[in-house]
């Protein structure tokens, strides 16, 4: 893999036809060649993860919601989560393709990552030579797996519209007296609005980009009333997709469920601060190569002489807002760094393109650590989460029991602890709208659901699920001790353990009602 990566780096940094005097159709070749190289690099570092149905806990749940939406379920009403509707709509679209849905969403995520890398390269060209710009896009593709944001996590999808918006803002900042600035700002805010319907934290980057546009307008002589009116228009456009979805839920009679899940639940979530700060310390260490490249590198940041490019300051402001958005939302999971990677990779481009021997080691450190992380993080995750064959065996054990003739018809599966993907692969009915196990089995979500978790678990078990999945190995976050105690008492009274399953390093017990 390392040798193949080396060949890709050599191909990516090869001079393009435009710099060799190419004209006409030849100008298309560098972009096509770069896209092909990026695609090859992305596939190479993700290959081991393709086809694994339980490789990431969030992604398997999003895919479950997409499957049940195809069967008529409504997010927040039938299946609860706080992610925006647009993210679930992406996963609903996966089931329009008559192929393995796991491979479809993973291919879609890979394509979005490659497109984002191309936008990064285009943006980086404003502050760096071509070699550095191309390697900036490659760095993004390498560091995505490092932070568990490689396939279908929300930043994989919303980084693309945000990166396009940022490129438009930086270019707008270079135009003086632009009569179409207000219109360009409308396009930028619509992109931010779409990104917010994939994850609401895109709001932070949108705010930073909006302020940059207003600063450009102020520099062009806009009056305060014009600035205020334009700001209101842009903010309205950014909020329009979310307001449209809210309106749809209100008209359907489910406005309260939408507001509780999307806007209120976050304030009821608790944080395990010891775990959160441990995560932050680990991520700080992992981000040191970026700090070295941006802060300690030689100060030759321009294409000519010692002049600092005009685009550098807005890029730094964008990165600051992205980093601020990350720091404001504890508990700082790895994939929360996904949106921060985009501006940081752009800012590293001048160093990645630095040709002098004294500056090359910064590029080697950045890309070298990225490659190590891109190999090590998925390997660790696959070791922990298990193989597709193990998951297939677990699915068969659950399905066989649910189809037992002694079971009452329509008896459901309940995954109290484990992988929500079992609901999708078994096709079993779900006895609760809180199908993501951590919503009922973890301490941090106990006050965020809008219901009492113990009462909900009591209701579930009163329906006599045909199979219950319970963990028999450690868990990474603090459990909800009240719901766990209730589950243990209920299983001891009325259930029997009929099988055990192993998924990677994790072990689970399968329970059925006593006959």
Predicted confidence band of residue 139 (pLDDT cuts 50, 70, 90): very high
CB atoms within 10 A of CB 100: 14
Nearest Cα neighbor of 238 from 186, 199, 198 is 186
Nearest Cα neighbor of 187 from 198, 195, 177 is 195
Nearest Cα neighbor of 483 from 466, 507, 505, 458 is 458
Q: Which two tokens stand for residue 425?
A: 């692969």
pLDDT per residue as tens digits for the range 410-450: 689 999 999 999 999 999 999 999 999 999 999 999 999 99
Residue 48's pLDDT is 92
Predicted confidence band of residue 207 (pLDDT cuts 50, 70, 90): very high
What percentage of the chain carries pLDDT values higher than 70? 88
Nearest Cα neighbor of 133 from 351, 292, 370, 373 is 351
Residue 6's pLDDT is 52
Cα 183 to the center of its chain, rounded Å: 29
Residue 147's pLDDT is 94
Average pLDDT over every residue of 282-298:
84
Residue 27's pLDDT is 47
**Can you tell me which residue has the tokens 């301490």?**
443
Residue 427's pLDDT is 95
Residue 71's pLDDT is 96
Predicted confidence band of residue 16 (pLDDT cuts 50, 70, 90): low
Instruction: For Cα atoms 41, 42, 43, give the angle at the middle one, nearest 5 degrees.
Output: 95
Average pLDDT over every residue of 55-61:
94
Q: What is the mean pLDDT of the chain?
A: 89
Average pLDDT over every residue of 76-103:
97
Please say whether the beta carbons of 292 and 362 come within 8 A.
yes
Residue 293's pLDDT is 85
Residue 18's pLDDT is 42
Q: How far apart are CA 289 and CA 107, in angstroms?
A: 29
Phi then psi for residue 412, to 5 deg, are: -95, 170
Best mean pLDDT range from 15-29, 262-276, 307-321, 471-485: 262-276
- Helices and strands (H, E) in the chain, number of each type: 21, 4
Q: What is the Cα Rg of the chain in Å? A: 25
Determine the 3-state secondary structure of 471 from DSSP.
Answer: strand
């Amino acid at each position: 893999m390392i040798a193949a990566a080396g060949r890709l780096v050599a191909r990516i940094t090869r001079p393009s036809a435009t710099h060799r005097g190419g004209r006409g159709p030849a100008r298309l070749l560098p972009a096509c060649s770069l896209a092909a190289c990026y695609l090859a690099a992305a596939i190479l570092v993700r290959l081991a993860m393709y086809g694994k149905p339980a490789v990431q806990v969030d992604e398997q749940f999003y895919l479950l919601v997409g499957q049940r939406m195809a069967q008529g379920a409504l997010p927040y009403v039938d299946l609860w989560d706080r992610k925006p509707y647009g993210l679930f709509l992406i996963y609903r679209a996966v089931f329009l393709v008559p192929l393995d849905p796991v491979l479809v969403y993973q291919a879609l995520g890979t394509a979005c990552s490659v497109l984002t890398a191309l936008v990064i390269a285009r943006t980086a060209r404003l502050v760096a030579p071509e070699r550095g710009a191309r390697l900036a896009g490659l760095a993004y593709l390498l560091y995505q797996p490092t932070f568990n944001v490689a396939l279908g996590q929300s930043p994989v999808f919303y980084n693309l519209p945000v990166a396009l918006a940022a490129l438009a803002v930086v270019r707008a900042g270079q135009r003086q007296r632009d009569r179409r600035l207000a219109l360009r700002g409308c396009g930028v805010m619509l992109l931010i609005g779409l990104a917010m319907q994939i994850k609401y934290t895109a709001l932070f980057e949108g705010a930073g980009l909006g302020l940059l546009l207003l600063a450009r307008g102020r520099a062009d002589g806009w009056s305060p009333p014009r600035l205020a009116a334009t700001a209101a228009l842009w903010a309205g456009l950014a909020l329009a997709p979310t307001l449209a979805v809210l309106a749809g839920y209100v008209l359907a009679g489910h406005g309260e469920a939408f507001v509780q899940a999307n806007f209120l639940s976050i304030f009821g979530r608790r944080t395990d601060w010891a775990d959160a700060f441990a995560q932050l310390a680990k991520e700080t260490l992992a981000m040191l190569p970026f700090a070295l490249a941006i802060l300690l590198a030689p100060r030759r940041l321009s294409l000519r002489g010692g002049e600092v490019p005009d685009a550098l300051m807005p890029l730094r402001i964008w990165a600051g807002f992205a980093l601020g958005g990350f720091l404001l939302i504890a508990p700082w999971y790895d994939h929360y760094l996904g949106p921060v990677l985009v501006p940081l990779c752009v800012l590293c481009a001048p160093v990645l393109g630095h040709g002098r021997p004294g500056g090359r080691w910064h590029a080697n450190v950045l890309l070298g650590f990225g490659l190590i992380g891109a190999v090590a993080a998925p390997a660790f995750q696959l070791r922990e989460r298990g193989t597709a064959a193990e998951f297939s065996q677990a699915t068969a054990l659950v399905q066989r029991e649910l189809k037992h003739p002694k079971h009452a018809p329509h008896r459901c599966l309940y995954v109290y602890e484990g992988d929500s993907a079992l609901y999708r692969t078994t096709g079993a009915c779900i006895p609760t709208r809180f199908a993501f196990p951590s919503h009922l089995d973890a301490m941090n979500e106990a006050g965020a659901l809008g219901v009492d978790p113990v009462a909900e678990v009591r209701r579930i078990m009163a329906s006599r699920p045909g199979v219950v999945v319970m963990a028999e190995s450690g868990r990474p976050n603090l459990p909800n001790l009240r719901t766990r105690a209730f589950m243990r008492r209920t299983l001891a009274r009325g259930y029997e353990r009929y099988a055990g399953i192993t998924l990677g390093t994790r072990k689970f017990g399968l329970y059925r009602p006593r006959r």
